[in-house]
């Protein structure tokens, strides 16, 4: 969907989320603790949220399709993929260009 393309191309890190999803919250906090401020797009606050969810599933998001994490315009995955990257030491190099200096 065009909205997904626009958001992911205009923002370094995008997390498609639901405001009531604890895994979405955990992934968002992980990125914040790693020094990045992702754009968190809450699908349940977007009138086109259901269409976006369908588009995310078509991209390859599992069911449920949130959290769906994009870094540098590319789909990284959901909670399992993000946590696996982090545990293997591959997440920080991926987000390093977008980290803020503290």
Q: How far apart are CA 43 and CA 52, in angstroms?
A: 7
Number of separate domains in the chain: 1
pTM above 0.85, yes or no: yes
Between the alpha carbon of residue 52 and those of residues 26, 37, 49, 81, the distances in Å are: 21, 22, 5, 20
Q: pLDDT: is 97 or 101 the higher one?
A: 97
Give SS3 for 69.
Answer: strand
CA dihedral 102, 5, 83, 29 (to 10 degrees): 40
Q: How far apart are CA 78 and CA 94, in angstroms?
A: 15
Domain residue limits at 85:
2-98
Q: What is the pLDDT of residue 1?
A: 81
pLDDT in tens, 78-91: 999 999 999 999 99
Q: pLDDT: is 64 or 56 the higher one?
A: 56
Answer for the pair 96, 89: CB distance below 8 angstroms, yes or no. no
User: Is residue 100 over pLDDT 90?
Assistant: no
Answer for the pair 8, 14: CB distance below 8 angstroms, yes or no. yes
Q: pLDDT: is 1 or 56 the higher one?
A: 56
User: Is residue 66 over pLDDT 70?
Assistant: yes
**CATH label of the domain that carries residue 91:** 3.40.30.10
pLDDT in tens, 12-58: 999 999 999 999 999 999 999 999 999 999 999 999 999 999 999 99
């Amino acid at each position: 969907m065009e909205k997904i393309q626009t958001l992911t191309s205009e923002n370094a890190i995008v997390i498609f989320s639901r405001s009531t999803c604890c895994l979405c919250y955990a992934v968002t906090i992980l990125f914040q603790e790693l020094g990045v401020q992702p754009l968190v797009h809450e699908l349940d606050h977007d009138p086109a949220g259901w269409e976006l969810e369908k588009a995310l599933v078509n991209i390859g998001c599992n069911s449920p399709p949130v959290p769906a994490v994009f870094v540098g315009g590319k789909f990284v995955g959901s909670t399992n993929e993000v946590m696996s990257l982090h545990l293997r030491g591959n997440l920080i190099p991926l987000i390093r260009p977008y980290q803020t200096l503290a």
